[in-house]
Amino acid sequence: MASLALAVADQALADLPPTHPCGTCPVRDIAVCGALDDASLRCFKEGGPTVAYDAGETVAFEGDAATSVYTLTAGLLRLSRFLPDGRRQIAGFLFPGDFLGLTLEKEHAFTVQAVVPSTLCRFPRPRFDSFAAGQPALERRLYALAAQELAAAREQLVLLGRKTATERIASFLLMLARRGRAEGTAADDIRIPVSRADMGDYLGLRIETVSRELSNLKAARVIQFTGRQTLRLCDRDRIEQLAEG
């Protein structure tokens, strides 16, 4: 029944008129608000202004009061934390359609920065919580999102704790491929929107190691660079084998 309700909501969203406040939103079908029908979505959006951040700007600092929640509609966000010795650990990246603020804590656990120019729908947390309490479909979507975040956190533990440098790079590329497909990119075409430094801080690798591993995959004809920040998976079976170890 839940999947049927979401399918009906998604169809309703697909038919939104351009005059609807979410009528031109590029991620309305994959964002958490995709669970809402036309009328509920309109009410929801009325309390959530669109905010924009330039590349490098900070959405929230670690330790800031978590007074708002966000849906990323365009761009890319980086979640990071600095260790006492000054090293940076990137906990993850948020892509268009992702939700920021799903936590029981009163403070942000990570610093959130825009990697590229980004736009978000921002909602005051008390209003969002009150609204969600009256929307069973939205609550189910949030529950599913929480489960996905938990699974991603566990995968990150395995990535950093057990996988080799090659396995980490392969896993990261497959993750980007999955996100690209969700956004309509061809199955084997990958856009790498982050720097080598960001990749290293996310994967627990030095920049030199990231560059070397990518060069090795290119030399082995597993990948082919098609641009400064794009590549193609030439041997998907091989990259999947490498990711699995």
* 83 phi/psi in degrees, rounded to 5: -80, 165
Least confident span in 25-34, 158-167, 210-219: 25-34
For 22, residues 6+ apart whose C-beta sits below 8 A from its C-beta are: 13, 16, 28, 33, 41, 42, 45
Cα angle at 189 between 223 and 177, to 5 degrees?
A: 90
Closest CA to 41 of 24, 61, 22, 68: 22
CA separation for the pair 212, 239 (Å, rounded): 16
Rounded average pLDDT over 236-242:
94
Residue whose entry in the numeric block shows the structure tokens 């560059």: 211
Rounded average pLDDT over 30-46:
82
pTM of the model: 0.82
Residue whose entry in the numeric block shows the structure tokens 């079976």: 237
Helix (H) or strand (E) holding 157: helix 136-161
pLDDT of residue 17: 60
CATH of region 163-244? 1.10.10.10
Rounded average pLDDT over 15-42:
76
- pLDDT, mean over the chain: 85
For 233, residues 6+ apart whose C-beta sits below 8 A from its C-beta are: 173, 177, 188, 189, 190, 222, 223, 239
Give domain 2-158's CATH superfamily: Jelly Rolls (2.60.120.10)
Rounded average pLDDT over 123-150:
87
Instruction: Please report which confidence band the pLDDT of residue 186 belongs to, taking 50, 70 and 90 as the band edges.
Output: low
Rounded average pLDDT over 164-173:
94
Longest dimension (CA), the chain: 55
pLDDT in tens, 40-66: 888 888 777 889 999 999 999 999 999
CA separation for the pair 137, 37 (Å, rounded): 9
For strand 230-233 and strand 223-225, is the pairing parallel, antiparallel, or unpaired? antiparallel
pLDDT in tens, 1-19: 333 333 434 444 445 565 6
pLDDT of residue 13: 44
pLDDT in tens, 190-229: 999 899 999 999 999 999 999 999 999 999 999 999 998 9
pLDDT of residue 49: 86
pLDDT of residue 71: 92
Instruction: Please report which confidence band the pLDDT of residue 35 belongs to, taking 50, 70 and 90 as the band edges.
Output: confident
CA separation for the pair 41, 60 (Å, rounded): 26
Domain spans in the chain, listed from the N-terminal domain onward: 2-158, 163-244
> How is residue 95 annotated by DSSP?
-
Least confident span in 74-78, 116-120, 187-191: 187-191
pLDDT of residue 150: 83
Least confident span in 38-52, 61-75, 130-144, 175-189: 175-189
Q: What is the CA radius of gyration of the chain?
A: 19
Closest CA to 201 of 81, 99, 110, 60: 81
For the stretch 1-38, what's the b/e string if a residue is b when 16 or more beta carbons lie within 10 angstroms of its beta carbon?
Answer: eeeeebeebeebbeebeeebbbeebebbeebbbbbbeb
Domain 163-244 in the same topology as domain 2-158: no
What is the percent of the chain where pLDDT is above 90?
49
For the stretch 160-182, what's the b/e string if a residue is b when 16 or more beta carbons lie within 10 angstroms of its beta carbon?
Answer: eeebebbbbbbbbbbbbbebbee
pLDDT of residue 133: 87
CA separation for the pair 97, 71 (Å, rounded): 6
